[in-house]
């Protein structure tokens, strides 16, 4: 994976504007709704062998990848256990589906790859060959948009409380699997992925914890952001972060 990514940036952007989720993890082709119907006419129907991909992108099923510098965004629903206790299972599933749909839209519009929608967490990968060289800034902006759209700017409070971690670093990006005839997935692996996850786990509702590496690489100016040194689980040294808060104004 590099700047010469096989899936053209323009194609991912165009397909990302068509409705609706779920989508191919590689090219953003929609599988449902009107967009899905159009894709089936062009041969981009959902793969029978791996529903994460469309048929033309099945070539990426085979294990392999490379180490690259990318930006990772982890968004966690804070206090999901308490939320679930206060509503029926059906109501909670609808709330989470609303969050998944919104987060997917934000990430797709930012040219990121939606790595996973699991439990109370959404993971987006901002890969240079897909997102462009400004991937750190796009990830921070996507995090900001996500918190705005979940209501953290509203005086009445968010309709779902979310904290976000953003980190830039070297990671293995590619297809992983357990061997012949076993499921495969396109994902990112490595210590820097763990750092991004740990940042999200410590972010409070309405907070974006941005690692110093992501903040510096973004080249963005946010004024005087609070600086913290966080002790992250499994890390021997504290990690420098900037705290960007999305609050009513």
**Cα–Cα distances in Å, from 161 out to 1, 124, 164?**
34, 18, 10
Q: Are 16 and 9 in contact (CB under 8 A)?
A: no
The torsion defined by the Cα of 126, 242, 193 and 79, in degrees rounded to 10, comes to -100
- Give the tens place of pLDDT for each residue, 120-157: 999 999 999 878 899 999 999 999 999 999 999 999 99
Six-digit token pair at 71?
């930006």
Six-digit token pair at 208?
């974006």
List, in order, residues 6 or more apart from 35 with CB less than 8 Å away.
15, 18, 19, 20, 29
- Give the tens place of pLDDT for each residue, 155-167: 999 999 999 999 9
Query: Read out DSSP for 74-91?
Result: EEEETTHHHHHHTS-HHH
Q: Which of 242, 245, 248, 247 is nearest to 229 (CA)?
A: 242
pLDDT at 178 over 90: no
Angle between helices 135-149 and 89-109 (to 10 degrees): 150
pTM summary value: 0.80
- Give the tens place of pLDDT for each residue, 32-55: 989 999 999 998 988 765 567 788
Q: Are 240 and 227 in contact (CB under 8 A)?
A: yes
Place of tokens 């967490």: 121
List, in order, residues 6 or more apart from 243 with CB less than 8 Å away.
207, 208, 209, 210, 225, 226, 227, 228
Poorest-pLDDT segment among 17-26, 29-38, 107-116, 172-181: 172-181
pLDDT at 239 over 60: yes
Domains and CATH numbers, the chain: 1-58 (no CATH), 62-245 (3.30.70.1230)
């Amino acid at each position: 994976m590099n700047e010469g990514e096989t899936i053209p940036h323009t194609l991912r952007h165009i397909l990302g504007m068509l409705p609706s989720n779920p989508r191919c993890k590689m090219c953003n082709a929609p599988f449902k709704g009107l967009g899905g119907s159009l894709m089936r006419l062009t041969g981009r129907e959902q793969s029978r062998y791996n529903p994460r991909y469309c048929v033309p992108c099945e070539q990426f099923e085979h294990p392999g990848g490379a180490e690259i510098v990318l930006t990772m965004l982890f968004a966690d629903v804070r206090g999901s256990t308490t939320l679930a206790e206060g509503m029926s299972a059906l109501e909670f599933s609808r709330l989470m589906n609303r969050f998944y749909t919104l987060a997917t839209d934000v990430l797709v519009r930012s040219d990121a790859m939606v790595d996973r929608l699991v439990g109370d967490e959404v993971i987006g990968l901002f890969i240079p060959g897909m997102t462009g060289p400004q991937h750190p800034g796009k990830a921070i902006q996507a995090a900001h948009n996500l918190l705005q759209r979940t209501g953290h700017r509203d005086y009445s409070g968010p309709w779902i409380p979310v904290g976000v971690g953003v980190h830039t670093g070297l990671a293995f990006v590619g297809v992983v699997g357990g061997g012949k005839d076993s499921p495969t997935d396109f994902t990112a692996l490595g210590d820097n992925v763990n750092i991004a996850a740990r940042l999200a786990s410590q972010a409070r509702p309405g907070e974006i914890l941005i690692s110093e590496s992501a903040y510096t690489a973004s080249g963005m100016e946010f004024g005087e952001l609070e600086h913290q040194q966080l002790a992250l689980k499994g890390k021997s040294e504290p990690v420098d972060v900037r705290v960007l808060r999305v609050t009513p104004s």
